[in-house]
Structure 1
Amino acid sequence: MTLATIATPKKESPFLFKGMTWREFKAVEQLLDRPGYRLSFLDGVLEIRRMPGEPYKTVKQRIGALLELYLLMAGFDFTPTGSMTLESEGVAVKREADESYKLAPGRTYPDLAIEVVFTSGGINKLEVYKRLNIKEVWFWEDGVLELYHLRGEGKKLRYEQITSSEEVKGIDLDLLLRCITMVNHVDAIKTFQKVLQN
């Protein structure tokens, strides 16, 4: 039996505006604070993305539900921080992850940021997260999950692509991916939970 999977909409490119100061960015951000759009900033470049609607929200919410189920059952003391605004004028960056998590008490920023990619191009998201010292970043795109973990110290920080999570230890990524792309949300959660309980 072949499982139906979530439909992927046509990818759109974000709008990019170069040569902006932090102050100009903050002024534009106040003017464009509208549902359905997300603004990011890196090194003087403002990115405006139109959010892609239901397929994006379905994947985003599904990843969150599955991951939180795993974290709960695996005994993590976690805090979901959703699309918390992550910004720093000092390093000239602003980004809202699609989902994010603090995986232990007392954290200022999340340990894990998750991006659900339905757009192409734009600012370098890993560079933004590196400057904010986010330990691990997951990108879901077209049914594929890519994971990156932060390595090094100081000016030698860099992300390295990894095949299994170092922050969410023990999670079965193949199972997670299979459940993310299932059409029925309840079936996806039940399938994931059943495997975790065995």
Structure 2
Amino acid sequence: MTLALLSDYFPLELEKGDREEKFITSGVTWQAYESLLTSLGNSSGYRVAYLLETLEIMSPSRNHELDKKNIGRLLEVYLEEKRIRFWGLGSMTIKSEDKQAGKEPDECYCIGTDKEIPDLAIEVVYTSGGVDTLEIYRRLGVIEVWFWQNEQFTIYCLENDSYQVKSNSQLLPNLDLNLMAEYVTINDPLEAITQWRKQVKDNTNS
């Protein structure tokens, strides 16, 4: 599908709002994918994924964005209190023409040192189906992926070029993600951050 066809179809299919929607199409060239990214620009609220000529465009819901923000803030509080160096890259587009893969995570981070490809990608899942997110990240070499779905985290770590489900983060082995999940679901973000910071400090000092 050409960029012109995408541009004609795309605005009619997805509208920003409380409802999460996806548009998926095949036969999209890499050049059309990159042109679409340029057309959308950095201000776009959409998430775009590409894998082997299949393109996915998602319009995230309000709850999706709230969870994304809450997870990012809580993780950064942990990293700050533990004095772990990090680079928060938000929804930066990660892509490789050679690998025919590209993705805009909900959040992504380099841990320890700054890198071209982030160590950690975080995905908030409210709508199932679509392109194979893990295959995109595998091709790009992201070593750890967290999925947030049904108010819990699932952790995937890249080992021998394939992802394995783990009970805890390999990048941040002392982070209790089951405990952090309880704070993600607190309705008041300020209260969640305040309580979480105290929890992390208490654990650090104990």
TM-score by length of 2: 0.83
Deviation of 1:12 after TM superposition, in Å, equals 4.6
Within 5 Å, give how 1:19-168 maps onto structure 2: 19-33=27-41, 35-53=44-62, 55-152=63-160, 157-168=161-172
Q: Distance in 2 between matches of 1:31 and 1:197?
A: 44
Would the aligned equivalents of 2:49 and 2:102 in 1 still touch at CA under 8 Å?
Answer: yes
Q: Per-residue CA shift, 1:79-115, capped at 9, x if unaligned?
A: 1111111001110111011111100224221110000
Q: Distance in 1 between matches of 2:165 and 2:123?
A: 15
Equivalenced residues, count: 185
Q: Distance in 2 between matches of 1:106 and 1:62?
A: 23
Moved over 6 A (4+): none
Aligned-partner SS, 2:147: strand
Q: Per-residue CA shift, 1:15-42, capped at 9, x if unaligned?
A: 1111222112223444455733222100
The CA RMSD measured in Å over matched residues stands at 1.8
Cα distance, 1:175–1:111 mapped onto 2, change above 3 Å: same
The residue that corresponds to 2:182 in the other structure is 178
Cα distance, 1:158–1:11 mapped onto 2, change above 3 Å: farther
Cα distance, 1:106–1:49 mapped onto 2, change above 3 Å: closer
Instruction: Work out which structure has the larger RCO, using CA pairs closer than 8 Å and 6 or more positions apart in sequence.
Output: 1
The residue that corresponds to 2:4 in the other structure is none
TM-score by length of 1: 0.87
Deviation of 1:124 after TM superposition, in Å, equals 0.4
Q: Distance in 1 between matches of 2:196 and 2:78?
A: 9
Structure 1: gaps of 5 or more residues:
1-8
Is 1:187 the counterpart of 2:196? The answer is no
Which one has a larger percent helix, Structure 1 or Structure 2? 2
Between 1:131-140 and 1:67-76, the stretch displaced more is 67-76
Q: Distance in 1 between matches of 2:39 and 2:79?
A: 38
Would the aligned equivalents of 2:19 and 2:60 in 1 still touch at CA under 8 Å?
Answer: no
Between 1:25-34 and 1:60-69, the stretch displaced more is 25-34
Between 1:9-18 and 1:173-182, the stretch displaced more is 9-18
Deviation of 1:191 after TM superposition, in Å, equals 1.7
Q: Distance in 2 between matches of 1:196 and 1:100?
A: 21
Is 1:16 the counterpart of 2:20? The answer is no
Q: Per-residue CA shift, 1:153-177, capped at 9, x if unaligned?
A: xxxx100000100001201112100
Cα distance, 1:58–1:112 mapped onto 2, change above 3 Å: same
